[in-house]
Structure 1
Amino acid sequence: MSNAKNLPDSSGGNVEYGAGDRAPSAPRKRVALFAGAYNHIADGVALTLNNLVDYLERRDVPVRVFAPTVEDPALDHAGTLVPVPSVPFPGRSEYRCSLGLTPSVRKELEAFDPTLIQVSTPDFLGLRALHFGHSADIPVAGTYHTHFASYLRYYNLGLLEPVVWGYLRHFYRQCDHVYVPTTAMMDILQEHGIEDGLRLWQRGIDVDQFNPTHRCTSWRRAHGIKEDEIVVAFVSRLVWEKGLDTYAEVIERLERQDVSHRSLIVGDGPAREELEARLPNTIFTGFLRGEELSRAYASSDVFLFPSDTETFGKVTLEAMASGCPTVCADAAGSRDLVQEGTTGFLCPPEDVDTLTDRVRRLVLDPSRRRTMGSAAFERAQDFDRDKILAQVVRHYDELLSSQDPVETEGAPSDSAVRTSEGGR
């Protein structure tokens, strides 16, 4: 019996690979990954990159991660991390500003001898990595994790949006590939002049970890949730650009309308104290991981996520896999996931009236809630993490194969000859 399986490629077709998800005569891969966040903060970007590194190492692809770190990091990171000197970001000390490729970091990079450079953040470190790749004739893949332009209005900096897009064009046009998490986000980049080398890299999840079977009556009871209470949940870092103000307005309206429910917020961050004061009846669990996070999702009944700044709504996908119907802002991060009227509802961003109405419908209609929750679960099965990460390896192979000549897996490293051809 064959172990081969068909995996969707970025254009919607199928590519057949064996159990290792490696194409025959695959190019030799040694990946240098540059990140603005990897282990010092537990945000979506850091978790995604750790999953990628874990996947690559399980498939014997050597990886080195170059990123800022701190004395007491939030995550036990995957793979080998080369610390990059950094300073706290002004006004947001949980983030770090890297100081670029110092001589010692550059020495580590050269000793690793990468065949491919992947840059996850268009910051100073990313720019230096990009220039290093060009000077050494190493192909560079950029990833678009964070929709920076959409954040500006939360800091009253909307006038800077043209400047930000100008810089993003300058950065990503120098990359051979640009990995984008959704087709909706790909459309946005193309509209702003970032058109060449775009490839789809969706986000996947562990469909066993996020599953309705983790629903737990004792977990609900321990958090003061009655057996018949309908839980409206939100999961994310608690920063205002995640749509927290809109979430709070919806919960406040439901309370004024006497719609019986229980609000649950999973996560932590600088907005927590103000949010706790505003929503005194809401359960705040703080940051959860592992089984506790699985139980929190599966023990909820409706997932409300009004953020319009996401490039990919991974928390939305985790909620769907846990059997929750979702009510989300109709934005790039949710549009590829939520099937309107089937797995949940997409609402105009910041439209509190519509968001409240859709949540109320689900809270008050058990049959609709069950039907949509079941459909959400089925939809989420298309996003198995390892199958999704196989997309990235195929993109690597495509990019490395475009370099002429190509060194294949198993060939001695000193036989590699790289040229600057390949669309850079």
Structure 2
Amino acid sequence: MRIALITDVWTPLINGVVTTLENTVRILREKGHVVLVLSPDMFPGLPCPTYPEIRLSLFPWRKVTRILDNYRPDAVHIANEGPMGWAGRFFCWKRGKGFTSAYHTRLPEYIRLRFPVPLRASYAFFRWFHKPSKAVMTASPELMEELRSLGFSSLKLWSRGVDTGLFRPRSKDYLDAPRPISMFMGRVAVEKNIEDFLHLDIPGTKYVVGDGPAFVKLKGAYPDVRFVGAKRGEELAAHLAAADVFVFPSTTDTFGLVLLEAMACGVPVAAYPVTGPQSVVVHGQTGWLSDDLGEAVHRALPLSPQACRSHAEIYSWERCTEQFLGNLHLLNMHGLDD
């Protein structure tokens, strides 16, 4: 099958969306499918306001249309709602093609945290964007029900996976700091609600692994917290596996891929009882969910590392990719809907 994947985020950016897309594309190609990735690095662009690591493609419509006309895909998937997503949506409308899309990120909430835009208006806009989609893929049944209650339709499940070879239990000696070590890993930005973690009066040492626009400000404001910056690959996995508890203060993540990565390392999770963690964490077994984040940390610490690992092993990128394939809308060889 010839698949066109259109995305506003791609490598070298580090986040859950990019990790999901990279692994999906890798396995699709291993299975013999031909995948064309249309990403911002192929177009001139500008840094996204408040998130400069993301490049917003400038006027990609004509080039996207030309590339897809030549490629003649059997299926088109639009990963995001940015300029590249709009260009893909325009192509499908212009050529009479069906497409699938995904709801990876709570952009209405992210926008509201930065600008005085009502959530109702943002959600109306995103409903309109996804309305023509033949399948709006979501990471969990909980998120699916939430979006359905907000008026979204054609919702399909597309779960997530974890690389259990990279993310595995390792020596705690990798980090030399007073125990227990409580760790947050992810983008250091306002939407991650990291200060709820940093404010906690808990024993041991706090670590923040990651980078982002709030990094310098928070590092200066919390000198007792160890901010180690962004890590990749083995170094990232070694940091994570050396923690005693993974603290996830976000209330806006749609899934929280880092939760699976922590559990695969045998590290229990402390989080709020909201959609992302509720979809991933087995309360009382692989983590603790509470409106009191300090209590969640205390309760999560003694939980079984093996239970965490066993639960994470349920999630595979192969199974995730099979779901993705099953959700795609196929086009016939003439470029029209079957």
**Smaller-chain TM-score range?**
over 0.9
Name the amino acid aligned to 2:30. Answer: R
The one-character-per-residue Cα deviations of 1:25-71 (angstroms, maximum 9, x if unpaired) are xxxx21111111112522221222111111111112111111212xx
Q: Compute the RMSD of aligned alpha carbons.
A: 1.9
Number of the residue aligned with 1:168: 126
Gaps of 5+ in 2: none
Name the amino acid aligned to 2:150. Answer: H
Kept in 2: contact 1:204–1:389 (CA 8 A): no
The one-character-per-residue Cα deviations of 1:261-302 (angstroms, maximum 9, x if unpaired) are 111111111111111122212222211111111111111111
From the superposition, tell whether residues 108 and 272 of structure 1 become closer, same or farther in structure 2 (CA, over 3 Å): same
Number of the residue aligned with 1:179: 137
The one-character-per-residue Cα deviations of 1:135-161 (angstroms, maximum 9, x if unpaired) are 32332010111111222442252x421
- TM-score between both structures, scaled by the size of structure 2: 0.94
Q: How does 1:371-410 map to 2 (within 5 A)?
A: 371=304, 373-396=305-328, 399-400=329-330
- Out of 112, 116, 138, which is 2:71 matched to? 112
Q: How does 1:72-221 map to 2 (within 5 A)?
A: 83-157=42-116, 159-196=117-154, 198-212=155-169, 214-217=170-173, 219-221=174-176
From the superposition, tell whether residues 103 and 135 of structure 1 become closer, same or farther in structure 2 (CA, over 3 Å): closer
Q: Does 1:57 align with 2:24?
A: no
Kept in 1: contact 2:181–2:245 (CA 8 A): yes
- TM-score between both structures, scaled by the size of structure 1: 0.75
Count of equivalent residues: 338
Kept in 2: contact 1:134–1:420 (CA 8 A): no
Q: What secondary structure, in the 3-state scheme, does the structure 1 residue paired with 2:164 have? A: coil
2 CA distance for matches of 1:362 and 1:387? 28
Name the amino acid aligned to 2:89. Answer: L
Name the amino acid aligned to 2:85. Answer: G
User: More relative contact order in 1 or in 2 (CA 8 Å, sep 6+)?
Assistant: 2
Q: Does 1:240 align with 2:190?
A: yes
1:417 CA drift (Å):
4.0
Gaps of 5+ in 1: 1-28, 70-82, 349-353, 407-415
Name the amino acid aligned to 1:169. Answer: R
Number of the residue aligned with 2:296: 358
Once the two structures are overlaid, the 10-residue window that deviates more, 139-148 or 380-389, is 380-389
Q: Does 1:278 align with 2:217?
A: no
Q: What secondary structure, in the 3-state scheme, does the structure 2 residue paired with 1:55 have? A: helix
1 CA distance for matches of 2:310 and 2:193? 27
From the superposition, tell whether residues 344 and 266 of structure 1 become closer, same or farther in structure 2 (CA, over 3 Å): same
1:418 CA drift (Å):
4.9
Identity of aligned residues (%): 28
Kept in 2: contact 1:33–1:120 (CA 8 A): yes
Q: What secondary structure, in the 3-state scheme, does the structure 1 residue paired with 2:18 have? A: helix
Q: Which protein has the larger Cα radius of gyration, Structure 1 or Structure 2?
A: 1
2 CA distance for matches of 1:34 and 1:268? 26
Name the amino acid aligned to 1:55. Answer: I
